A and B are shown apart, each in its own frame.
Chain A
Amino acid sequence: MTGIGYYLSAGHENSALLAFALHSRARNGEQATLLRELFSQGKTLPNSVEGAQLLLDNIENIKIPAGLSRQTLEAYRVLISRVGDPVGTQAIRAKVLDILLK
């Protein structure tokens, strides 16, 4: 296994974080910006759990922002399964990503 798949494999959590950070911060954080753009689509309350749910409910009309790489989406999906989720935002984002990554 090579590339980000290696970093995201079991036992390489710290490396996965670093890989994601490096990837998302490349080119002045473009990937991070694009991730935010993805999660902000169609939301009336962009920073709320309800906003995340609206994104999921509207998934058929969601477009992945140009330039946002599949590697970034995969890395983010892995990371959020390994962190706490105080009010459920990441759980809903995980469902969104699972659909987009099919």
Chain B
Amino acid sequence: MLIIQFLQNMFKLYYKDNIIRFDQLQINTIDYLIDENSKENKGFIGFFDWLRKDERTIIGIRTCFFEHQEYNALLEKFKYTKSTYGEKFIEILFTTEGYNPLLSGDQDFTNNYVYTSDNGDYLFTFGLDHLTEYELNSLLKHCEILT
């Protein structure tokens, strides 16, 4: 599972192989509780695209939440996110490189949960089981591994 931590002025990427306590995640001693909406929808709150530089290298992600969801408005307020395609989607790039749009059309859709902390920070999770070994390794270069 990829976990993106959305902080006020920066984001961080984490990788966690197995989530034991589903309703709660802890990062650096901060507890995050699962958002009821994403829980009710069983992690299916839209689609997402891995943004690839080439066939083996992931350098970002694009979220495509269902239009009635409020997550776009939540994420677009951060300076490091980018609204695209008429503000329907949100892109987060992990590097300064550009991506190839023709290689970035997964429209994947599993394990997309949202967690919030008491101080208003957010975690978004994304399932990784669709990725190849090469893609996963390219992504892990940007992640802190959580045990």
Contacts and interface: CB of A to CB of B under 8 A. Distances in A.
A84 B102 contact: no
Interface in B34-85: 40-44, 46-47, 49-50, 52, 55, 62, 64, 66-68, 84-85
Interface in B103-128: 103-110
Interface in A57-97: 80, 82-90, 93
For chain B, the bracket of interface size reads: 20 to 34
The binding surface of chain B is classed by DSSP as loop
B105 A52 contact: yes
Given A36-B130, A47-B106, A48-B103, A87 B49 contact: yes
Contacts of B55: 45
A54 B71 CA distance: 33
Given A21-B42, A47-B50, A84 B85 contact: yes
Given A86-B84, A86-B85, 20 more contacts: A14-B68, A18-B40, A20-B44, A21-B41, A29-B110, A36-B108, A47-B104, A48-B102, A48-B104, A49-B102, A51-B105, A83-B66, A84-B67, A86-B89, A86-B105, A87-B104, A89-B49, A89-B105, A89-B106, A89-B107
Interface of B: 40-44, 46-47, 49-50, 52, 55, 62, 64, 66-68, 84-85, 88-89, 101-110, 130
